[in-house]
Amino acid sequence: MDLSVAGILLLDGVANGAIYALLAVAIVLLFAVTRVIYIPQGEYVAFSALTLGLFQLGQVPGTVWFLLGLAALAALLDAAADLRARTPAAAAVRRALRTLAFPVAVSALAIWLAPHKPPMAVQALLTLALVTPFGPLVYRLAFRSLADASVLVLLIVSVGVHFALTGLGLFFFGAEGFRNPSFWDARFSIGALSLSGQVVIILAATAALIVMLWLFFERTLQGKALRATAVSRLGARLMGISSDAAGSLSFAMAAFIGALSGLLIGPTTTIFYDSGFLIGLKGFVAAVFAGLASYPAAMAGAMMVGVLESFSSFWASAFKEAIVFTFILPVLLWRSMHDPHPDEE
Partner 1 sequence: MPPRASSPGAPPVASASGGPGGAALRTAALAAFVVLAAALPQLPVPDFWITQANYIGLYALVAMGLVLLTGVCGLTSFGQAAFVGIGAYATAYLSTALGLSPWLNLAVGLALTCVCALVLGWITLRMSGHYLPLATIAWCLALNYTMANMEWLGKFDGILGVPPLSLAGIDFTRARNIYYPIWAAALVGAVALLNLLDSRPGRALRALNGGVTMAEAMGISTFRYKVQAFVIAALLASVSGWLFAHFQRTVNPSPFGIKWGIEYLIMAVIGGVGHVWGAFAGAAVVKLVEDQLQVLLPRLIGTAGNFEIIVFGIVLVLVLKYAPQGLWPFASSWLPAPRRVRDWEHAPPLAERARPAPGTPLLEVERVRKQFGGLVAVNDVSFSIRGGEIVGLIGPNGAGKSTTFNLVTGVLAKTGGSVRFRGEDITRLRSRHIARLGISRTFQHVKMIPAMTVLENVALGAYQRGGSGIARAMLRLDRAEERRLFREAERQLARIGMASQMHEPAGNLALGPQRLMEIARALCADPVLLLLDEPAAGLRHHEKQALAGVLRQLKAEGISLLLVEHDMDFVMNLTDRIVVMEFGTRLMEGTPAQVQASPAVRAAYLGTEH
One residue of 88, 191, 240, 340 binding partner 1 per CB under 8 A:
340
Considering the rule CB under 8 A, would residue 214 count as an interface residue with partner 1? Answer: no
Q: Compute the least distance from the CB of residue 4 to partner 1, in Å.
A: 28
One residue of 58, 115, 160, 296 binding partner 1 per CB under 8 A:
160
Contact present, 274 and 166 (Cβ < 8 Å): yes
Considering the rule CB under 8 A, would residue 308 count as an interface residue with partner 1? Answer: no
In the beta sheet, which residues pair with residue 298?
A: none
Considering the rule CB under 8 A, would residue 263 count as an interface residue with partner 1? Answer: no
Taking the alpha carbons of 99, 77, 42, 64 in that order, is the dihedral positive or negative? negative
Considering the rule CB under 8 A, would residue 225 count as an interface residue with partner 1? Answer: no
End-to-end CA separation in angstroms for the chain: 50
One residue of 284, 289, 295, 311 binding partner 1 per CB under 8 A:
284
| CA distance linking residue 260 with residue 207, whole number of Å | 12
Count interface residues toward partner 1 (CB under 8 A).
Answer: 53
Nearer to partner 1, 232 or 326 (CB): 326
Considering the rule CB under 8 A, would residue 175 count as an interface residue with partner 1? Answer: yes
Which x/- pattern over 20-49 shows residues binding partner 1 (rule: CB under 8 A)? -----------------x-x----------
Residue 235: count of CB within 10 angstroms of its CB: 11
Q: Which helix (H) or strand (E) holds 199?
A: helix 197-219
Secondary structure (H, E, C), 91-157: HHHHHHHHHHHHHHHHHHHHHHHHHHCCCHHHHHHHHHHHHCCHHHHHHHHHHHHHCCCCHHHHHHH
Considering the rule CB under 8 A, would residue 168 count as an interface residue with partner 1? Answer: yes
Considering the rule CB under 8 A, would residue 2 count as an interface residue with partner 1? Answer: no
Q: Compute the least distance from the CB of residue 206 to partner 1, in Å.
A: 23
Considering the rule CB under 8 A, would residue 176 count as an interface residue with partner 1? Answer: no
CB burial of 185-216 (b: ≥16 within 10 Å; e: otherwise) equals eeeeeeeeeeebebbbbbbebbeebbeebeee
> Contact residues for partner 1 (CB under 8 A)?
37, 39, 142, 145-146, 148-153, 155-157, 159-168, 170-171, 174-175, 278, 281, 284-285, 288, 292, 318-319, 321-323, 325-326, 328-329, 332-333, 335-336, 340-345
